[in-house]
Chains A and B, each alone.
Chain A
Amino acid sequence: MATYDFVFDGLGLREWCGGSDGGAGGNAPLSMDALMSQARGEEAEVSLWETPFPSLDALHEACDAMPQSRDLTSGLEDGFLAIKDGLQVVVDPLTQPLSWALRNALWLMQAVPWWIMIPLLMVVAFAVGRSLRLVGLVGLSFALLAFIDYYDYTMQTLAIIFVCAFICVLFGVPIGIAMARNDRVQRTMIPVLDMLQTLPPFVYLIPLIFLFSVTEPKLYGIAIILYAIVPVVRLTDLGIRMVDKEVIEAADAFGMTDRQKLFGVQIPLALPNIMAGVNQTIMMSLAMVVIASLVSAPGLGVLVLRGIRSLELGVGLVSGLGIVLLAIILDRVTKAALARINASQN
């Protein structure tokens, strides 16, 4: 006897359920509760206080034809597996350049000797930030990481971030521009961005593991990009929408074409916002690169993972601090670039 027998009896659906008695007599998998009560050898007597919610499982007890909730999740899984092959045919070639880029970036960053790489990164920092203190910070940080023999891991992490952040900007800025110019695009994109931003980072990995081989760098590349692309899209959209209406009007009044307005006025004036988005994107890819080490992303994240897995406290903490150091450098360099843009405009 199940709690919700009366629903099906009352609606005259007993026939459809395929049996006069409840689910206990059916041949569907038993729920844990039913199994327990069976083991105790007693029919569960349900008081009003303990009336279960009419969930799929509770209804299944009353009627065999109702699916159980485990059918829902396994159905989703089967469905995904069914379309997986078709999806792979499309997605695999499309994302192959990402694998290629990641592999080459990883190779390049490690193949170049340290005595070229560290000065090169310092030069880049100077070109972007125009500050000697910043260059000092960059040099010192890399020297420190190299001194404790974390140089290779750092370069791997950096290579992944460079590639992923670059691709985020490559796709994020045009998407943001499209959103700013068209309200309908904005309305459809905002829920997608909201979902990408709130989905727990681990969840990205699950369908990707099914789709791609774990040995492929694009597996973690896609996860990082999906997670980190959101801020640059949002801030590009915001930045372009916030451009002074009067300036746009002046551009119109002097006969600019739409293209001239976009490249000559809107993008330059939205640049501070876009750069703030790039900064956030880099920070978020750094956060994700640690999680992505679960699916074979190399770099400092691997050491953090080792710290957790084999309880190597020292390794975990030092590599964690290494990531912080990297984050500080990347943040300061991009912020310095942002400050330079701001200084020239206001």
Chain B
Amino acid sequence: MADDTKIAIRGLYKIFGDAPQQALSHVREGISKSDLLEHHNHVLGLNDINVDMPAGKTTVIMGLSGSGKSTLIRHLNRLIEPTAGEVLVDGENILDYSPKALRDLRQHRMSMVFQKFALLPHRTVLENAGLAPAIEGKKPRHYADEATKWLDRVGLQGQGDQYPHQLSGGMQQRVGIARALTSNSDIMLMDEAFSALDPLIRTDMQDLLIDLQAELHKTIVFITHDLDEALKLADHLVILKDGFVVQQGEPQHILLNPADPYIEDFVGDINRARVLRTRSVMEKTEAPVEGLDGEVGHDDTLESVIALAGGDTAKHYRVMRDGRQVGVLHMRDLVRALVPSERDPDRALAS
């Protein structure tokens, strides 16, 4: 386990049914999900999951509905108990925790944001935001400052006395985020947190999360079925299908090197120019190169570089990071990267 791993999942299985342990032995022998359901009447939820989630980064778990992503995130705070495997948080296996230690984990070290907000309808926005300190037994006047601070930070100034049903969906989810932040935990679990929101509001919320993350560096585990959202937020992307991990890694890397046809399909529809960054397609070199047409940032999207070049494929740019050259971008490579990988000439040559 690397030093900067906050949460590590090791060999995690979840099987739903009457006799999961028995079914587990079949799964370990390699039975397929559909056979298990047909012959043994058990549902394979998660199949040998191994993921390291880096501290202070956003890990996005992406998959279509039924892929087990919501089941997986609920194992991280044991809302669901696994059939087999380990979940290590800060190196401790939380499956060994007593009920009391588990409650402590949920109160102080992990917070959660839900798809349908799950606010307490009978408590005010302020009381909802202060749920974590309230559970510890603090009175509203003791946690009001902290809760108000986070409500203000997520853009809900002066709404503390409202009840949740008086707010719109987007504002309710802001309360949900403020509630998670007020708990002051290092880890934030976000279960399809923005999926129930309108597209425009969703973009706002994504930007809010990126801002917050730049400031707070929490370990965020974000679940989504939306690839654009995943690519926008992820530092580490895990793609789940039918309960197992198809591919995981840096999002740009997955985009350029999809591991199997399922992911190729997935990434096929994306606007690659908007998602890919110059650092992913540049030639890495610190040696000075003559005859360049200008400078670009290492985190610029390809779209912006195309606009800069005016569509000219013969140009070359110096790629800068923190005022230092980290590579050279050839427009020809850039254009090639825009074509999905199955028609990628490099891969065709390699194979």
Contact = CB atoms under 8 A, between A and B. Distances in A.
Interface string A118-134: 00000000000000000
A254 B79 contact: no
Nearest to B108: A255
B77 A253 contact: yes
B131 A254 contact: yes
A246 interface: yes
A246 B116 contact: yes
Interface stretch (B38-46, B118-126, B224-232, B280-288): B118-126
29 contacts: A244-B118, A246-B114, A246-B117, A246-B118, A247-B118, A247-B120, A247-B121, A249-B79, A249-B114, A250-B118, A253-B79, A253-B106, A253-B111, A253-B112, A253-B114, A254-B111, A255-B103, A260-B135, A264-B120, A268-B122, A269-B121, A269-B122, A271-B122, A344-B122, A344-B163, A345-B121, A345-B163, A345-B165, A346-B165
Interface residues of B, number: 27
A255 B118 contact: no
A345 B122 contact: yes
A129 B103 CA distance: 40
A265 interface: yes
A257 interface: yes
Nearest to A246: B118
Contacts, number: 65
B105 interface: yes
A252 interface: yes
Given A256-B103, A345-B122, 5 more contacts: A247-B118, A253-B77, A253-B110, A253-B114, A260-B135
A250 B132 CA distance: 11
B106 A265 contact: no
Interface residues of A, number: 21
B206 interface: no
A246 B193 CA distance: 13
A345 to B, nearest CB: 5
Contacts of A246: 114, 116-118
Contacts of B132: 254-255
Interface string A256-284: 11001000110011010000000000000
A346 B106 CA distance: 28
The 4 A-B residue pairs with the shortest CB-CB distance in the complex, in nearest-first order:
A255-B106, A255-B107, A250-B118, A253-B112
B135 A255 contact: yes
A97 B165 CA distance: 44
Contacts of A264: 120
Residue of A244, A254, A344 with most chain B CB atoms under a 10 A cut-off: A254
A277 B132 CA distance: 32
Contact of A254 (B116, B163, B183): B183
B107 A249 contact: no
Contact of A250 (B110, B114, B165): B114
Contacts of B79: 249, 252-253
A265 B189 CA distance: 22
Interface of A: 244, 246-247, 249-257, 260, 264-265, 268-269, 271, 344-346
Contacts of A249: 79, 114, 118
Interface of A is mostly: helix
Interface of B: 77, 79, 102-107, 110-112, 114, 116-122, 131-132, 135, 163, 165, 179, 183, 189
A177 B172 CA distance: 30
Nearest to A258: B99
B122 A254 contact: no
Nearest to A265: B120
Contacts of B77: 253
A279 to B, nearest CB: 20
Nearest to A261: B135
A255 B179 CA distance: 13
B233 to A, nearest CB: 21
Contacts of B106: 252-255
Nearest to B189: A253
A255 B104 contact: yes
Nearest to A268: B122
Contacts of B122: 268-269, 271, 344-345
Contacts of A257: 103
A346 to B, nearest CB: 6
Contact of B135 (A247, A254, A269, A271): A254
A175 B131 CA distance: 29
Nearest to A247: B118
B135 A256 contact: yes
A344 B161 CA distance: 12
B165 to A, nearest CB: 6
A263 to B, nearest CB: 12
A218 to B, nearest CB: 38
B298 to A, nearest CB: 38
Contact of B112 (A250, A269, A346): A250
Nearest to B134: A264
A256 B102 CA distance: 11
Contacts of B183: 254
Contacts of A250: 112, 114, 118-120, 131
B297 to A, nearest CB: 39
A252 B118 CA distance: 11
A275 to B, nearest CB: 13
A346 B320 CA distance: 54
Nearest to A267: B122
B105 A255 contact: yes
Nearest to A244: B118
A345 B114 CA distance: 19
Residue of A253, A257, A260, A264 with most chain B CB atoms under a 10 A cut-off: A253
